[in-house]
Chain A
Amino acid sequence: MSSSTVSLRQGAPRPAGRRGPRFGAFEPWFYLAPAFIVLIGLLGYPIFQLVNISLYDYRQAQVSGAAPLEFTGLGNYQQLLSDPQFWAVLGNTVLFAGFCVVITILVGGWLAVLATRLRPWVRTLLFVVSMGAWATPAVTGSAVWLFLFDPTLGLVNKTLVALGLHAFDGYSWTYDKWSAFGLVASEVVWCSFPFVMVTVYAGIQAIPTEVIEAARLDGASMGQIARTIMLPMLRPIMMIVIIQSIIWDFKIFSQIYIMTSGGGVAGQNLVINVYSYQQAFAASLYGLGSALGVIMTVILMAVTLVYLRLIKKDGEAL
């Protein structure tokens, strides 16, 4: 991190003066400096430490200073990559997060487009209700969903039994791997689609209304308008919504941790973040946990860069 800022500073005087000499070449740095200080101090340092710790055999004894610190290089990474459980957890994470991202974007985007056509009071109702879901802390959101799907006390099973489906009497939704993942995914979509909806809606509002009106007068359907006008103009907004969803859903922690009691039966519902937390804090293998964090950051980065590549148009900035 620090080396890049040094080189940035050296490069600054050359092209920046073009805009006029009011503040001189230092003006960009006036805007960037506060953010840089915060970013380097509060993100650069943890990232550096994360990579650093991942290269050591770092356990409770090393934290308290009872044992000497042993540099193991890529030993933690080697151990992980040769562990079948790591690959199983990674597979779970990709499937689960991918599913959540797709559903969240579809639901949120569709409701945002729909919201532009609703009467104001219906729209406000939809938004207020969604805000409630969004504002629910992950801890309580998970608890409420779990309670709704409780084998004997839950509203869902009681209703199903009352409808005559006695197979659901005492049926556990969290016992089977995929029904457990499905339940958690429902909660995740429930609390994350409002962000997509609100952001996309704000983006749609920024589109000049004449364009949409003109298309509508020409007889274009809502689907056509969404596909041919809104989507291209919303590209930068869709990009953030999709990347943010990828990042959030790959980092899901609380929901899995609470709803599947720390990873499900025999760890069948472990995702990488819960696994990493288990290794780092429950088993006190800080080095291994940090290595997992690094791997996850690299994967997220790769996914994001591939995505940016795919949507990037020729000759356009990132």
Chain B
Amino acid sequence: MSTAVTPAPVAAPDTAFSRKNLLATLSAGYVPLVLATLVVVLPLLWMVLNSFKQPSEIVTTQLQFLPQAPTLDNYQAAMTTVPFGRFFANSLIVTAVGSTVKVVLAILTAYALVFVDFPFKNVVFVLILVALMVPAQVSILPNYILIAGMGGKNTLWGIILPGLGTAFGTFLLRQHFLTLPKSILEAAELDGAGHWRRLWRVVAPVSLPSIATVALVTVVSEWNDYIWPLIITDKPESMTLPVGLTLLQNTESNGAGWGILMAGSVLVILPILVVFAMLQRYIVAGLTQGSVTG
């Protein structure tokens, strides 16, 4: 990279603008990147474009990419045919409470698994792995009997409670804590800091990118959780957004339903992008912004 400063000698094989380097850069970097981005973007773009189309433009055999007469009808329909505001508030509460509890639990447990001495550590870790592997579809029936028996049907806490039992965050943070140099903790220990201060003053601050990742993963999965809220709620007052979306799908099964569903999906995705915008400072930029990129 640094050789690029000097003018490239003719036909030198390894300079910045030599054919070899150019080809290598294009094939290893930008061409696949552009392709990958296109593939990732296309379904999203299609969703957004269709959310502004009229039914006649959606159900057509013509190759038509852009909406001819952009309309907000779909958005209006999505917000009015179902109690969208209510769904939104429910999803917000479920996601905020559920994610906060999960992330704090994950930090505490992962810290104990890595930095605190206690017997049967590996047994506990394997139990957490087992917990990760139980398929949601089959634990639904026992969970339903348990929660419904406690009176949790059509309540927000009934939606939140079983979800708290995921072990994903613990797993990810444990793996990250294992990569931390032991020396920083030993220094804190010599200064007389107990576990509590070591956790929040030393381990948590240097692990912000990973904690932010766990937070992001947790928020996304809480926000998009579908099967459990679908089963534990049957009244619109306690439904979350993804479940509400299915109501949209069910109301109209023709082309109009498509546009409305797409509009609803856009509205579901937007808040996640806002959360991402808030967390990306820690994840994308990282703590050492600029020093990694050459």
Contact = CB atoms under 8 A, between A and B. Distances in A.
Interface of A: 1, 4, 7-8, 11-12, 14-16, 18-20, 22-23, 27-29, 31-32, 34-35, 38-39, 41-43, 45-47, 49-50, 53, 107, 110-111, 114-120, 123-141, 143-145, 147-148, 152-153, 155, 158-159, 161-162, 190, 195, 198-199, 201-206, 209, 212-213, 216-217, 222-223, 233, 236-237, 239-240, 243-244, 247, 251, 253-254, 273, 276-277, 280, 286, 289-290, 292-293, 296-297, 300-301, 304, 317-318
Contact of B179 (A39, A143, A237): A237
B226 A137 contact: yes
Given A50-B134, A158-B61, A216-B294, A35 B139 contact: no
Given A118-B293, A198-B213, A205-B209, A39 B167 contact: yes
**Which residue of A23, A46, A199 has the most chain B CB atoms within 10 A of its CB atom?**
A46
B66 interface: no
A31 B195 contact: yes
A139 to B, nearest CB: 6
Contact of B63 (A16, A162, A243): A162
**Which residue of B29, B39, B131 has the most chain A CB atoms within 10 A of its CB atom?**
B131
Given A46-B134, A199-B172, A201-B284, 6 more contacts: A38-B164, A42-B143, A119-B293, A145-B43, A147-B46, A206-B179
Given A137-B226, A233-B179, A236-B179, A290 B117 contact: no
A276 B138 contact: yes
Contacts of B127: 1, 4, 39
B142 A136 contact: no
A203 B109 CA distance: 20
B286 A205 contact: yes
B40 A190 contact: yes
B82 to A, nearest CB: 15
Given A116-B293, A144-B47, A31 B245 contact: no
Contacts of A4: 120, 123, 127
A31 B179 contact: no
A183 to B, nearest CB: 12
Interface string B33-64: 10011011111101100100000001111110
A124 B161 contact: no
Contact of A117 (B50, B262, B280, B294): B294
A94 to B, nearest CB: 15
Contacts of B210: 202-203, 206
Contacts of A15: 117-119
Contacts of A239: 175
B153 to A, nearest CB: 16
A42 B138 CA distance: 13
B262 A144 contact: yes
Contact of B134 (A32, A43, A139): A43
Nearest to A163: B63
A39 B165 contact: yes
A135 B134 contact: no
Contacts of A277: 137
B176 interface: yes
Contacts of B276: 127-128, 131, 135
Contacts, number: 311
A275 to B, nearest CB: 10
Interface residues of B, number: 111
A247 B165 contact: no
A133 B33 contact: no
Contacts of B268: 135, 137, 140
A155 B120 contact: no
A31 B116 contact: yes
A179 B282 CA distance: 40
7 contacts: A111-B33, A137-B224, A140-B47, A233-B179, A237-B179, A244-B171, A300-B133
Contacts of B33: 111, 114, 118, 126
Given A31-B195, A143-B261, A297-B130, A128 B273 contact: yes
Contact of B46 (A144, A290, A318): A144
Interface string B234-260: 000000001001100100000000100
B176 A237 contact: yes
Contact of A135 (B133, B139, B224): B224
B118 A16 contact: yes
A108 to B, nearest CB: 10
Contacts of A39: 127-128, 131, 165, 167
Given A23-B195, A139-B245, A148 B42 contact: yes
Interface in B81-123: 105-106, 108-109, 111-112, 116-123
B172 to A, nearest CB: 5
B23 to A, nearest CB: 14
A47 B128 CA distance: 12
Interface in B260-294: 261-262, 264-265, 268-269, 272-273, 276, 280, 283-289, 291-294
B59 A153 contact: yes
Nearest to B125: A318
A301 B129 contact: yes
Contact of A301 (B43, B130, B172, B264): B130
B156 to A, nearest CB: 16
A221 to B, nearest CB: 9
